Structure 1
């Protein structure tokens, strides 16, 4: 997913059974959590930094701010509430498909003050619509917009990582990993499982419909690949050996002169990284971050393994062999809390590998949700019986071999936009996203 298709979340928004929360209240909680985070990511910067473009890969933050409001107006005020437009003149200006990110600074954008005022006005009307709707049904449009805003929040967090100014964000470090380290890999038994969903009311169109998929047995890394493991790949000449690389990846690596993950540099024998305006040693036990699909694929080949397919990843994350059912999350159907997964910008980095044993999947793999998005081997495409909803541009226009699927969410992914069926996608060369990976191998017969 690119965010263009559509304050940290506190514990009070987490670890609840979503089915037990009335739809109206669930929508209000999700929208409010997203807005707190949006404001926290923008109120910390002066106007000059909100209107600047910190990378041609990203929009000015003020564009994201007004785009969030425009999408909320279109879908909640006009579509759900049947209300006349507040600012129809903004529809073209903040249409992500009409204006590539690199071109957006030249547009006559709302100022930060105007964008904030527009955002607040739209939200007041949206809550009026929510309160006035006699039967909100499953609240899909409200859930879609909450997810859309959280997706932009993660994109704005990536812009913070790309900006060159001093640090303005802060969060506590994640706790150390528990002492019960999992084995290096886990076995995921072969057989069919139910992939996708027909039951989650806020699942997006590309997660539907549910369908049966047969996956042969395979062995999966129990945690994402760590910085220490990735440094061994670098030390062994992994970036200089074309046999490990996809042909397109080798061309890209050579052209861009890649030698390490984004934001890394070496100081003598020590690897350092820049993280949200701070320079620090690369933590050896954290999942590697800011690597492209090409780099992940090359590492897997070097290690004698491969990236899991999307179906393999989802089976590992969801399938419960004891019941034959597919879970909403690896640990069950209770929404994520801090013990389950590192999500929602609670921390500004991945947790150490082996963290969150309470969030383990039935197969024993940990950290399948949160910490780092995980590249898979699969191209982004429709499930059998796919139907675009509520508009083609959310998913359908991105289907094809150009985009690779990522799964699982990152430390910057909002809880409402992270579940074991959620599908992300991006170009295989992208590195500004909070992406890592884990590897797998086919299980031996018998």
Structure 2
């Protein structure tokens, strides 16, 4: 393991340490409450079943969460002996592809819950006694923060499984607030002037290795959509034959479109002249003013070409989301350095859908770009590569094994992402064919293309 250390948390001494300890405990408990909500709402048969070969059975995620928590916190940080070493291979994500996991001798639901509960109790005892400094994994409580993020990421994965699950709805949440009065009169795009900005971070205490290190990127001017592309706009692409015209698709994208017979976003269907969608077990009309959801990178790229535009690069996205031209510094979030609240972004599964385009004016960036955090993951044009000076930490399997042109970067989080796992530097990645994820996009252009 490399000796790269995360930065220290703000504040020192007993008061700072106790505040950090309380923050960690709150994040761990919030993640576990969400895990319970996602697994207690269905019968054991649903937990054991594989609802899609793309996803694990829910009961695998449940025990995997406990296993990773035991591995990193009880064993690596606490120096404890393994509780059940015989199950480690079952819950190693790199040993067994998702499609094979139902055939493994997995812990049944009651035992998986008991295991995760036992691990959590011991972890809270460990947290109470931890100095939260000294060793690299303890600095700023990094290992605890990593595990809180890991559980919330699997909660998002389990929510995707719920979306793929057939049968009666098992989840409920209130709709997002209506769009603000100015949403209909927002400019369609904003200019991001040329110039350098700081990309990545050296100061975010719980940032993961692929977000590091901070480095300067100098970009030419570009124009970016004020809001994500909406369902109504995407329907115009469909109506204009966008899925049937190879001009708008890359060679690989066209081949995939034909092979997979793509004709609309995943979960959409045409009935009696109207587009409908299935959302967590409910079939409903596609809302025209919501950001389009469940589209692959190939579809997003084809739409952008059809519209005479392009997908933004990852660097363009981050500059639009973080750079403050008034101060010349990069913020943690579009609105500033304070953590996300319900008035700034649609995060944390408060709502089971994106908010209308133009929502959350309090969360807009200094350039006036809205909904850069939450609502939908946004595909970018960029492949997933390390930043200059990258060092894998604390394990290479988190990022390093995925670097390359196979994966495209997504930014900004979505309604299913918890605030602890969402910030202006956070990087997500997936295959360009993926559609079951909560993915949308916005488009860009250079001024010369006007």
Same fold (TM over 0.5): yes
Supply the distance in 2 between the matched residues of 1:91 and 1:120 (Cα, whole angstroms): 17
Q: Residue 268 of structure 1 aligns with which residue?
A: 272
1:18 deviation in Å?
Answer: 8.4
Regions of 4+ moved over 4 Å: 17-21
Supply the distance in 2 between the matched residues of 1:377 and 1:309 (Cα, whole angstroms): 5
Q: Residue 106 of structure 2 aligns with which residue?
A: 109
Q: 2:84 aligns with which of 51, 63, 87?
A: 87
Alignment of 1:62-211 (within 5 A): 62-136=59-133, 137-181=139-183, 182-211=186-215
Alignment of 1:334-345 (within 5 A): 334-345=338-349
Q: Residue 291 of structure 1 aligns with which residue?
A: 295
SS at match of 2:244: coil
Judge conservation of contact 1:192–1:213 (CA < 8 Å) in 2. yes
Supply the distance in 2 between the matched residues of 1:290 and 1:76 (Cα, whole angstroms): 35
SS at match of 2:198: strand
Q: Residue 13 of structure 1 aligns with which residue?
A: none
TM-score under structure 1 normalisation? 0.95
**Residue 45 (str. 1) matches residue 56 (str. 2):** no
1:445 deviation in Å?
Answer: 9.9
**Residue 440 (str. 1) matches residue 444 (str. 2):** yes
1:87 deviation in Å?
Answer: 1.3
Q: Residue 376 of structure 2 aligns with which residue?
A: 372
Task: Quote the RMSD (CA, aligned, Å).
Answer: 1.4
Supply the distance in 2 between the matched residues of 1:245 and 1:263 (Cα, whole angstroms): 21
Judge conservation of contact 1:355–1:366 (CA < 8 Å) in 2. yes
Q: Count residues with an aligned counterpart.
A: 430
**Residue 353 (str. 1) matches residue 361 (str. 2):** no
Supply the distance in 2 between the matched residues of 1:88 and 1:341 (Cα, whole angstroms): 41
**Structure 1 stretch 21-30 or stretch 282-291: which is displaced more?**
21-30
Q: 2:421 aligns with which of 417, 421, 428?
A: 417
State the Cα deviation string for residues 56-87 of structure 1 (Å, max 9, x = none): 00000000000000000000101111111111
Judge conservation of contact 1:18–1:334 (CA < 8 Å) in 2. no
Judge conservation of contact 1:18–1:26 (CA < 8 Å) in 2. no
Supply the distance in 2 between the matched residues of 1:273 and 1:250 (Cα, whole angstroms): 24
Judge conservation of contact 2:311–2:442 (CA < 8 Å) in 1. yes
- Of structures 1 and 2, the one scoring higher in RCO (CA 8 A, sep 6+) is 1
State the Cα deviation string for residues 373-419 of structure 1 (Å, max 9, x = none): 00000000000000000000000000000000000000000110000
**Residue 30 (str. 1) matches residue 34 (str. 2):** no
1:60/1:331 CA distance change after superposition, 3 Å: same
Supply the distance in 2 between the matched residues of 1:262 and 1:110 (Cα, whole angstroms): 32
State the Cα deviation string for residues 310-368 of structure 1 (Å, max 9, x = none): 00000000000010000000000110000000000000000000000000001100000
SS at match of 1:231: helix
Q: Residue 397 of structure 1 aligns with which residue?
A: 401
1:269 deviation in Å?
Answer: 1.4
1:135 deviation in Å?
Answer: 3.6
Supply the distance in 2 between the matched residues of 1:407 and 1:228 (Cα, whole angstroms): 22
Supply the distance in 1 between the matched residues of 2:209 and 2:26 (Cα, whole angstroms): 22
SS at match of 2:181: coil
Judge conservation of contact 1:18–1:335 (CA < 8 Å) in 2. no
